[in-house]
């Protein structure tokens, strides 16, 4: 079983990867995408998206950080993967899921799912460009408009040499509309020899088990569920080992946000951190009654110190 922390542009950056992997349960993380058009980008772009490159491509808890590339030009993708690996990326993931508004195929993402041959060529070019010891993985949706090519795309990715495949169980057209169709993953899992990792709406332990029953996928990727419930991955692991489940209490969550805030303050302006805290607390309130209370208190605050002081009060309240 493998649990992966999802890439979420503008939401899960290196600070969040550090925070969430420190809680435990994760086996890997994937960075926000690096968009590749027709040139390999300067090193600073890779280092900004994955500051972990400076620490052997791992979070402070030692969890590998897979670098994600998005693009439709096989040569540029191959050159970029090669450079990312030289800089320290422990694995490369290719994004075929982004519902990008830029519809030219050169731009990459889910629009490429209309052409399994193109999907194959991109994965094959990246696979060929990096050392065999570096896993190349892919993340896709079930399709663009419908699922008709889901199996063709999955098989193309496998044939091109990918080590594993994550599938977000929706089409591009379905966006994020619930429910994720976990049952549509089962035929893909049966047809593939590489591991299939389920993704989409796994927001609780109960949903994890429902997804497993519907898809047969033991391994999953957690996005919004990881933010709603920072100990979800740990709970899934505890459940699979028949250990007692230890939900994280609000005091520990407040401490985690405050510690993350301190790190963010070294990198980002105050307004940005205020927005990010509101974003996280808005997600946390779904699973934690105390989160609801704090979100209500801070939602109109604009000064970071005020938000931190509210969190400290909650931290003390326990």
Ligand X SMILES: Cc1cc2nc3c(=O)[nH]c(=O)nc-3n(C[C@H](O)[C@H](O)[C@H](O)COP(=O)(O)O)c2cc1C
- In the beta sheet, which residues pair with residue 42? none
Quote the least distance from Cβ 87 to ligand X, whole Å: 19
Place of tokens 């020899």: 193
The answer to whether the beta carbons of residues 93 and 68 sit under 8 Å apart is yes
Q: Which residues are identified as catalytic?
A: 98
Nearer to ligand X, 33 or 280 (CB): 33
Task: Return d(Cα 285, Cα 12) in angstroms, integer.
Answer: 18
Nearer to ligand X, 29 or 253 (CB): 29
Quote the least distance from Cβ 70 to ligand X, whole Å: 7
Q: Which residues bind ligand X (CB under 6 A)?
A: 6-11, 32-33, 68, 95, 97-98, 139, 168, 199-202, 222-225
Quote the least distance from Cβ 163 to ligand X, whole Å: 16
Nearer to ligand X, 204 or 255 (CB): 204
Number of Cβ within 10 Å of residue 47's Cβ equals: 14
Task: Return d(Cα 237, Cα 91) in angstroms, integer.
Answer: 23
Quote the least distance from Cβ 101 to ligand X, whole Å: 14
Nearer to ligand X, 233 or 257 (CB): 233
Nearer to ligand X, 82 or 95 (CB): 95
Residue nearest to ligand X (CB): 223
Nearer to ligand X, 38 or 176 (CB): 176
Quote the least distance from Cβ 221 to ligand X, whole Å: 7
- Give one DSSP letter per residue of the chain, joined into a string: --EEEPPBTTTB-HHHHHHHHHHS--SEEEPPPEE-SSSPPPHHHHHHH-GGGGGTTB-TT--BEEEEEE-S-HHHHHHHHHHHHHHT-S-EEEEE----S--SGGG-SGGGGG-HHHHHHHHHHHHHHS-TTS-EEEEEEEESSSSTTHHHHHHHHHHTT-SEEEEEEEETTTTTPSPP-GGGGHHHHHH-SS-EEEES---SHHHHHHHHHHH----EEESHHHHH-TTHHHHHHHHHTTPPP-PPPHHHHHHHHHHHHHHHTTTS-HHHHHHHHHHHHHHHTTT-HHHHHHHHHHTT---HHHHHHHHHHHHHH-
Nearer to ligand X, 129 or 222 (CB): 222
Quote the least distance from Cβ 167 to ligand X, whole Å: 9
């Amino acid at each position: 079983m493998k649990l992966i922390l999802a890439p979420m542009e503008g939401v899960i950056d290196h600070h969040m990867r550090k925070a969430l992997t420190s809680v435990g349960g994760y086996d890997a993380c994937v960075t926000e995408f690096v968009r590749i058009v027709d040139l390999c980008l300067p090193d600073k772009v890779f280092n900004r998206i994955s500051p972990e490159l400076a620490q052997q491509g791992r979070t402070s808890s030692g969890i590998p950080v897979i670098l994600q590339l998005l693009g439709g030009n096989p040569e540029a993708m191959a050159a970029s993967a090669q450079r990312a690996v030289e800089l320290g990326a422990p694995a490369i993931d290719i994004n075929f899921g982004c519902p990008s508004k830029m519809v030219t195929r050169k731009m990459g993402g889910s629009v490429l799912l209309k052409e399994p041959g193109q999907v194959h060529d991109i994965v094959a070019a990246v696979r060929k460009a990096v050392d065999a010891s570096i896993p190349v993985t892919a993340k896709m949706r079930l399709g663009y408009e419908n699922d008709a090519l889901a199996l063709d795309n999955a098989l193309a990715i496998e044939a091109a040499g990918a080590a594993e495949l994550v599938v977000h169980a929706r089409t591009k057209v379905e966006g994020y509309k619930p429910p994720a169709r976990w049952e549509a993953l089962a035929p893909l899992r049966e047809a593939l020899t590489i591991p299939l990792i389920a993704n989409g709406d796994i927001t609780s332990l109960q949903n994890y088990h429902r997804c497993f029953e519907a898809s047969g996928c033991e391994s999953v990727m957690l996005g919004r569920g990881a933010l709603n419930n920072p100990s979800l991955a740990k709970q899934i692991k505890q459940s699979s080992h028949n250990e007692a489940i230890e939900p994280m209490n609000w005091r520990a969550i407040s401490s985690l946000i405050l510690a993350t805030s301190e790190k963010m303050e070294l990198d980002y302006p105050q307004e940005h951190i205020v927005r990010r805290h509101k974003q996280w607390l808005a997600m946390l309130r779904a699973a934690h009654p105390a989160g609801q209370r704090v979100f209500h208190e801070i939602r109109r605050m604009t000064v970071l110190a005020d938000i931190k002081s509210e969190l400290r009060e909650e931290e003390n309240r326990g």
